[in-house]
Amino acid sequence: MPEVARSLEEYRYLSLPGAHAKARHNGCVGAQFPWESAWLDDGEVTPEYMGTDVVTGQLIKVWSGFIEIHITSDVAFGVWQYYVCTGDQDYMDKYGYELIFDCAKFWLSRLEEGADGLLHINDVVGPDEYNERRRSQMTAPS
């Protein structure tokens, strides 16, 4: 159903203003696609905090809206897969190349040089997305 796939890919293009806003908010350039969105130009709508930690009494930060960043790669991959499967050059010319380019700009702006002289993408949520930050805070020296 290539027409349905194209419509989904065009939706991603239409949501670029929100992805640009999220990237800027996080000190980056290009497009950082949100973990959760409501409207095309909203960017991220994941709540910043939820609930209270029963041990510390502190609000629990929801990190997925900030550093769960693989969605941007998913969007770029989806654009490319759509093109590979359909050969829709019209889509690529109108929307696809810009989406991929904006995703690439985001990733470049997210790189940090490490002590080893190599470039790294730091401060991301790993596979255990609900405990990563909490665990590191609990084991940090006081």
> For residues 128 and 126, what is the distance between their CA atoms, to the nearest angstrom?
6
Which structural domain, as residue segments, surrounds residue 28? 2-139
Q: Model confidence over 96-131: pLDDT tens digits?
A: 999 999 999 999 999 999 999 999 988 887 666 666
Reading the block at residue 59, the tokens are 């609000």
Given the structure tokens 């490490």, which residue do they identify? 114
User: Bridge partners of 59?
Assistant: 52
Give the C-alpha separation, 108 to 70, whole Å.
14
pLDDT of residue 130: 63
CA atoms of 34 and 25, how far apart (whole Å): 12
> Which residue in the block uniquely carries the two structure tokens 């990563």?
132
Q: Please, are residues 96 and 82 in contact by the beta-carbon 8 Å criterion?
A: yes
**Tally of domains in the chain:** 1
| CA-CA-CA-CA torsion sign (103, 105, 106, 111) | positive
pLDDT band of 135, cuts 50, 70, 90: very low
- How far apart CA 64 and CA 31 sit, in angstroms, is 17
What per-residue confidence (pLDDT) applies to 116? 93
CATH number at residue 56: 1.50.10.10
Q: Which residues are catalytic?
A: 129
